Structure 1
Amino acid sequence: MATDPAELINRAQAWLAEDPDPETRDELAGLLDARNTDELAARFAGTLQFGTAGLRGELGAGPMRMNRSVVIRAAAGLAAYLKAKGEGSGLVVIGYDARHKSADFARDTAAVMVGAGLRAALLPRPLPTPVLAFAIRHLGAVAGVEVTASHNPPRDNGYKVYLGDGSQIVPPADGEIAAEIAAVASLADVPRPESGWETLDDAVLTAYLARTDAVLTPGSPRELNVVYTPMHGVGRDTLLAAFARAGFPAPAVVEAQAEPDPEFPTVAFPNPEEPGAMDLAFATARSLDAGGADGAGGGVDIVIANDPDADRCAVAVPDPGTPEGWRMLRGDEVGALLAAHLTGKGARGTFATTIVSSQLMSRIAGGAALPYEETLTGFKWLARVDGLRYAYEEALGYCVDPEGVRDKDGITAALLVAELAAELKQAGRTLGDLLDDLAVQCGLHATDQLSVRVEDLSLIAAAMRRLRAQPPSALAGLVVERADDLNEGSAELPPTDGLRYYLAGSPEAGVESARVVVRPSGTEPKLKCYLEVVVPVGSAEALPAARKKAAQALADLTADVSAAAGI
Structure 2
Amino acid sequence: MTVIDPHEWITADPDPHTRAELAALAPDELDERFSGTLHFGTAGLRGVVRAGPNGMNVAVVTRTTHALGRWLAGRGYGGATVVVGRDARHGSAQFAAATAEILAAAGFDVVRLPGTTPTPLIAFACRDLGAVAAVAVTASHNPPTDNGYKVYLAGGAQLIPPADREIEELIATAPPADTVARQPISPDTRARANADRYLGRLTARFGRVRSSVRVALTPMHGVGGAFAVAALERAGFSDIHVVAEQFAPDPDFPTVTFPNPEEPGAADRLLALADRVDADVAIALDPDADRCAVGARVHGSWRMLTGDETGAMFGRYLLDAATVDDPVVASTIVSGSMLAAVADAAGARHVRTLTGFKWLVRAGEPLVYAYEEAIGHCVDPVAVRDKDGISAAVVAALLTHRQVAAGSDLAAALHELATEHGLHVTAQRSVRVTDLSRIAEIMATMRDSPPTSLAGIPVTADDFADRDDELRTNAIMLSGTHGEEAIRLRVIARPSGTEPKLKYYLELVAPPGLGDVAATTDRLHALADDVLDLLPG
**Shorter chain as normaliser: what TM range?**
over 0.9
Within the candidate set 58, 61, 85, 2:51 is matched to 61
1:27 maps onto 2:17 in alignment: no
Change in Cα spacing, 1:166 to 1:527, as seen in structure 2 (3 Å) is: same
Equivalence for 1:533? 508
Task: Determine if contact 1:52/1:171 at 8 Å carries over to the other structure.
Answer: no
SS in 2 for 1:207: helix
Deviation at 1:457, TM superposition (A): 3.0
The aligned runs of 1:273-422 (5 Å cut-off) are 273-288=262-277, 299-319=278-298, 325-348=301-324, 349-387=327-365, 388-422=367-401
Change in Cα spacing, 1:192 to 1:408, as seen in structure 2 (3 Å) is: same
**Which amino acid letter does the alignment assign opposite residue 491 of structure 2?**
V
Change in Cα spacing, 1:454 to 1:53, as seen in structure 2 (3 Å) is: farther
Within the candidate set 443, 448, 462, 1:484 is matched to 462
1:515 maps onto 2:490 in alignment: yes
CA RMSD across the alignment: 1.9
Task: Determine if contact 2:330/2:350 at 8 Å carries over to the other structure.
Answer: yes
Structure 2 CA distance for aligned equivalents of residues 371 and 183 of structure 1: 45
Equivalence for 1:293? none
Equivalence for 1:14? 8
**Which amino acid letter does the alignment assign opposite residue 240 of structure 1?**
V
Moved over 6 A (4+): none
**CA shift digits 1:332-381 (9 cap, x unpaired):** 00000011112222454101000010011111000111111000011000
SS in 1 for 2:124: helix
Task: Determine if contact 1:240/1:250 at 8 Å carries over to the other structure.
Answer: no
Equivalence for 1:42? 32
Equivalence for 1:555? 529
1:100 maps onto 2:90 in alignment: yes
**Which amino acid letter does the alignment assign opposite residue 452 of structure 1?**
V
Structure 2 CA distance for aligned equivalents of residues 81 and 21 of structure 1: 25
1:207 maps onto 2:207 in alignment: no
Equivalence for 2:141? 151
SS in 1 for 2:238: coil
**CA shift digits 1:277-307 (9 cap, x unpaired):** 111112222333xxxxxxxxxx211110100
Deviation at 1:188, TM superposition (A): 4.3
Equivalence for 1:238? 227
The aligned runs of 1:421-500 (5 Å cut-off) are 421-481=400-460, 483-493=461-471, 495-500=472-477
**CA shift digits 1:132-166 (9 cap, x unpaired):** 00001111111000000000000000110000111
Change in Cα spacing, 1:196 to 1:272, as seen in structure 2 (3 Å) is: closer
Structure 1 CA distance for aligned equivalents of residues 506 and 486 of structure 2: 13
The aligned runs of 1:61-100 (5 Å cut-off) are 61-100=51-90
For structure 2, which runs of at least 5 residues remain unmatched after alignment?
Answer: none
Structure 1 CA distance for aligned equivalents of residues 333 and 71 of structure 2: 31
**CA shift digits 1:419-462 (9 cap, x unpaired):** 11111112111111111111111111110000233333333233
Structure 2 CA distance for aligned equivalents of residues 347 and 254 of structure 1: 37
Equivalence for 1:174? 164
SS in 1 for 2:381: coil
**CA shift digits 1:499-531 (9 cap, x unpaired):** 222x221225x3431111111222223321100
Within the candidate set 123, 139, 147, 2:129 is matched to 139
Task: Determine if contact 1:449/1:530 at 8 Å carries over to the other structure.
Answer: yes
Equivalence for 1:224? 213
Task: Determine if contact 1:521/1:527 at 8 Å carries over to the other structure.
Answer: yes
Number of matched pairs:
534
Task: Determine if contact 2:490/2:506 at 8 Å carries over to the other structure.
Answer: yes
Identity of aligned pairs, percent?
48
**CA shift digits 1:42-84 (9 cap, x unpaired):** 2111111101331101111111111111111111111111011
Task: Determine if contact 1:76/1:113 at 8 Å carries over to the other structure.
Answer: yes
**CA shift digits 1:388-430 (9 cap, x unpaired):** 1110100000111100001110011110111111111121111
Deviation at 1:386, TM superposition (A): 1.8
Within the candidate set 262, 265, 274, 2:254 is matched to 265
Structure 1 CA distance for aligned equivalents of residues 20 and 190 of structure 2: 33
Change in Cα spacing, 1:124 to 1:544, as seen in structure 2 (3 Å) is: same
Change in Cα spacing, 1:537 to 1:418, as seen in structure 2 (3 Å) is: same
SS in 2 for 1:460: helix
**CA shift digits 1:82-115 (9 cap, x unpaired):** 0110001111101100000111111111121122
**Which amino acid letter does the alignment assign opposite residue 506 of structure 1?**
H
Moved more, 360-369 or 552-561: 552-561
Change in Cα spacing, 1:431 to 1:47, as seen in structure 2 (3 Å) is: same
Change in Cα spacing, 1:433 to 1:444, as seen in structure 2 (3 Å) is: same
1:123 maps onto 2:121 in alignment: no
Deviation at 1:491, TM superposition (A): 1.9
Task: Determine if contact 1:79/1:113 at 8 Å carries over to the other structure.
Answer: yes
**Which amino acid letter does the alignment assign opposite residue 534 of structure 1?**
V
Structure 2 CA distance for aligned equivalents of residues 250 and 234 of structure 1: 21
Structure 2 CA distance for aligned equivalents of residues 199 and 22 of structure 1: 33
Change in Cα spacing, 1:215 to 1:516, as seen in structure 2 (3 Å) is: farther
**Which amino acid letter does the alignment assign opposite residue 526 of structure 1?**
K
Deviation at 1:202, TM superposition (A): 2.6
**Which amino acid letter does the alignment assign opposite residue 525 of structure 1?**
P
Task: Determine if contact 1:537/1:546 at 8 Å carries over to the other structure.
Answer: no
Deviation at 1:196, TM superposition (A): 7.3
Structure 2 CA distance for aligned equivalents of residues 97 and 225 of structure 1: 28
SS in 2 for 1:50: coil
Task: Determine if contact 1:136/1:142 at 8 Å carries over to the other structure.
Answer: yes
Structure 1 CA distance for aligned equivalents of residues 405 and 186 of structure 2: 53
**CA shift digits 1:248-277 (9 cap, x unpaired):** 114111011011000001101000011111
**Which amino acid letter does the alignment assign opposite residue 447 of structure 2?**
R
Structure 2 CA distance for aligned equivalents of residues 465 and 416 of structure 1: 42
For structure 1, which runs of at least 5 residues remain unmatched after alignment?
Answer: 3-7, 289-298
TM-score by length of 1: 0.90
